[in-house]
Amino acid sequence: METENEGEFEPRIVAFLCNWCSYAGSDVAGLQRMKYPPTVRIIRVMCSGRVEPSFILEALRDGADGVLVGGCHIGDCHYISGNKKCVARIALTKELLKQLGINPERLRLEWISSSESGKFVKIVEDFTKDLKKMGQNPLKSLE
């Protein structure tokens, strides 16, 4: 996983994880000594409902290859319904990305509970693979 070939493009993922489920799930992956690609940089937010579309745009503009938003499963939100607000915002942001000519697949919303460490690892692995296929964030070459 970690011994990538020299020179092969290594995507950079910015992940916004909610404190109660997804961030906790990523912690458990550590506790269980699971291994995953070193592509993800995690930003803790209290709730996925805190994630503003502008955060996602900022990350992509700064050169992130992918953005992951992780929240509690629908119905399990620590703040009752913040994740539902997040769903709506992500859908809109994906539309916006399309209009901007950015592959909306570069933005992923996932529900990861605090016990789903395996799911977190799988998502990072899959997203990393997908981003490798998509190639570098096109905004990087504009600079």
Partner 1 sequence: MDKERIGVFLCHCGTNIAHTVDIGKVKKYVETLPGVVFVKDYSYMCSDPGQRLVKESIKENGLTKVVIAACTPRLHESTFRETLREGGLNPYNLEIANIREHCSWVHDNREIATEKAKDIIRMAIMKAALLEPLEEREIEAVKEVLIVGAGIAGISTALILANSGIKTYIVEKEPSIGGKMAQLDKTFPTLDCSACILTPLMVDVERNPLIEILSYSEVESVEGYIGNFKVKVRRKPRYVRKDLCTSCGLCWENCPSKNVPNEFDLGLSTRTAIYIPFLQAVPAIPVIDAENCRYFQGLKEGKERCKICQKKCPVNAVDYTMEESFIELEVGAIVVATGYEIFDASQRPQYGYGKYKDVIIGLQFERLISASGPTEGGIIRPSNGQIPKSVTFINCVGSKESDGNQWCCRYGCMASLKQALQVREKYPEVEVNICFTDMRAFGKGYEELYRRCRKTGINFINGLPSEIYETYGEGKHLYFTVFDGFLNEVIRIDTDLVVLQVNMVSPKETGELVKKLGLCTSGDGFFQEAHAKLRPIETPTPGVFLAGTCQGPKDIVDTVCHAKGAGGDVLKLLQKGIIKIEPISAEVNEELCSGCGMCEPVCPYGAIVIEVKEDGKRLAKVIQAKCVGCGTCVATCPSDAIIAHNFTTEQIIAQIRAAVSP
Q: What is the DSSP letter of 50?
A: G
Closest separation in Å from C-beta 92 to partner 1 = 12
Closest separation in Å from C-beta 125 to partner 1 = 12
CA dist 114 and 99 (Å) reads: 35
Nearer to partner 1, 33 or 133 (CB): 33
Q: Are 55 and 23 in contact (CB under 8 A)?
A: no
Nearer to partner 1, 14 or 100 (CB): 14
Which parts of the chain are beta strand (E)? Answer: 13-18, 40-45, 66-71, 107-111
Q: Kindly list the residues in this chain that would bind partner 1 in the complex (CB under 8 A).
A: 2-3, 12, 14, 19-21, 23-24, 26-27, 29-31, 33-36, 38, 41-47, 49-52, 54-55, 58-59, 62-64, 72, 75-76, 78-82, 85, 89, 113-115
User: Residue 114: how many CB atoms within 10 A of its CB?
Assistant: 20
Closest separation in Å from C-beta 134 to partner 1 = 16
